[in-house]
Chains A and B, each alone.
Chain A
Amino acid sequence: MSYSKTIVLTNYDGETFVVDEVVAVEPQTIEHMIEDGCANTSIPLPNVTSKILSKVIEHCKKHVETPNSNEKAAKADLKSFDFDFVKADQGTLFDLILAMNYLNIKELLDLIYQTVADMIKGKTPEEEEEMRRVNAWVFSCFVGVTCLYFKSKKM
């Protein structure tokens, strides 16, 4: 396996991102493009903005760099990274879903779907205790449902 090989990704705004191949093949869509030999110059990703793409690359890098071991510390580190990763505003989260769905990164999709579901039900287990006191979950629940509603319909 050559670690030195790099892949160029061109996004929606025409910006280019140079990433190591090991990182770039995390998304299945890109892996398939490389396998099919469509990646000789650069890979166009017209559906993804630079803000989202850099976030996706950051996530792929972290997951590639973290050794795939049973080590507790590494696992906990990755978990807290993922936890912070999805702490984004709703717009970013929904853009991420669209990008992930297009790039086909299953692991990250799972995480974000769960995050949106938690927004709809109004709470994550970590927040539950706090939510019991503050009545904010009603609001967060309402916002979650409405945003998803508008995203699911062509107005």
Chain B
Amino acid sequence: METNHTYFVDEIILEILARLPIKSLIRTKCVCKLWYNLASHKSFTQLYNHLSLKNAMLLLQVTDSSTDSTSIVFVNGSLHWMTQSFAYILVLDLSLDSWRRILLPEEMGCGNGSGNRVYLLEFDGKLSVIQISSVWMNIWVLQDYGKGKWDLIDRVSLRCIRGMVPGIFPISQGGDYVFLAGHKQVLVYQRKTRSWKEMYSVKNNSTMPLWFSAHSFRGTIFSCR
């Protein structure tokens, strides 16, 4: 190498190490004292967590059967359940140790007999409900937690996936996507392109309905000191 006489400044090493997945990072830290020290510094932690924000990954879990189909959503230091009748959301505030209820969006016009299914999820740290009718999927977000103000953030046509609608339910969502699962497949809806894609499907003729869950995650490091 003709430029063997030049060396990387620490800044370059830091930038490269900060782009490693966590497992590789921990392994690479053991290479030498310089790298260990660089990657143990507080400023490195900040850089790493900042960069990893841009690279959200997806964790998909497939199990044979469901043990618990009730979804609990944890936001704002409280646990949230959807009531069976879809009348309201039950809230347990963990810091005050008190129970209360949050009303669903009025415009949703649900309740028994409307034929709509309603699911409780999280969206960007906020409470969200997704309503699925035969042709539409409406996504609401609780913008103002204190006042109970819901906003309709997305209204998605289900025409493209018509045949699957009766069996699907949303499992996770983020700013760019919504994941839905049926008994044999996982679908992803991309908000920006307004397109659907099949992410995973069961190939063999399994008779057992499968249970899916999907979460977006990103690597974050903390110092234990």
Binding site for B on A (CB under 8 A): 47, 49, 91, 94-95, 97-98, 101, 109, 113-114, 116-117, 120-122, 145, 148-149, 151-154
Q: With A94-B3, A145-B31 given, name 18 new contacts (CB 8 A).
A: A91-B1, A91-B3, A94-B1, A95-B3, A97-B8, A113-B15, A117-B17, A117-B20, A120-B16, A121-B20, A121-B21, A145-B28, A148-B8, A148-B16, A149-B35, A152-B34, A153-B7, A154-B7
Q: List 30 A-B contacts (CB under 8 A).
A: A49-B2, A94-B1, A94-B3, A94-B8, A95-B3, A97-B8, A98-B8, A101-B11, A101-B12, A109-B15, A113-B12, A113-B16, A113-B19, A114-B19, A117-B16, A117-B17, A117-B19, A120-B28, A121-B20, A121-B21, A121-B24, A122-B24, A145-B31, A148-B13, A149-B35, A151-B8, A152-B13, A153-B7, A153-B34, A154-B7
Number of chain B interface residues as a range: 20 to 34
Closest approach, in angstroms, between the C-beta of A71 and any C-beta of chain B?
Answer: 13
- The answer on a CB contact under 8 Å between A152 and B28 is no
Closest approach, in angstroms, between the C-beta of B22 and any C-beta of chain A?
Answer: 10
Cβ of A151: which chain B residues have Cβ within 8 Å of it?
7-8
Cβ of A114: which chain B residues have Cβ within 8 Å of it?
19
Closest approach, in angstroms, between the C-beta of A22 and any C-beta of chain B?
Answer: 27
Cβ of B43: which chain A residues have Cβ within 8 Å of it?
none
B208 contacts chain A at the CB level, 8 A cutoff: no
For B20, give the chain A residue with the smallest CB separation.
Answer: A117
For B34, give the chain A residue with the smallest CB separation.
Answer: A152
- The answer on a CB contact under 8 Å between B1 and A149 is no
